[in-house]
Amino acid sequence: MVVRHPAGSQLHDIDWDDKPACPNEPTQNEWTCQRQFNQPGTFRAVCTVHEATMTLTVRVLAGPTPKPPPATPKPTKKPTPRPTQAPPDPTPRPTEPATPTPTAAVTAVPTASPVETASPTPVVTPASTPVPVPTDTSGSGGLGPLLLLLGLVIAGAVGAAALLRRRASAPGRSGA
DSSP state of 49: S
The per-residue pLDDT for 140 is 53
The per-residue pLDDT for 59 is 92
**In sequence order, what are the residues at sequence separation of 6 or more whose Cβ sits closer than 8 angstroms to the Cβ of residue 120?**
none
What is the pTM assigned to this prediction?
0.36
The per-residue pLDDT for 123 is 44
Per-residue pLDDT of the chain (176 residues; tens, 9 = 90+): 888 888 888 899 998 888 888 888 888 899 898 888 888 999 999 999 988 999 999 999 988 888 888 888 777 677 777 777 776 666 667 777 766 666 655 555 555 555 444 444 444 445 555 555 555 545 555 677 777 788 888 888 888 888 888 887 777 655 55
Domains in the chain: boundaries: 2-60, 112-169
- CB neighbours of residue 22 within 10 Å: 17
Strand, helix or coil at 3? strand
Note whether 131 and 149 are within 8 A (CB): no
The per-residue pLDDT for 84 is 78
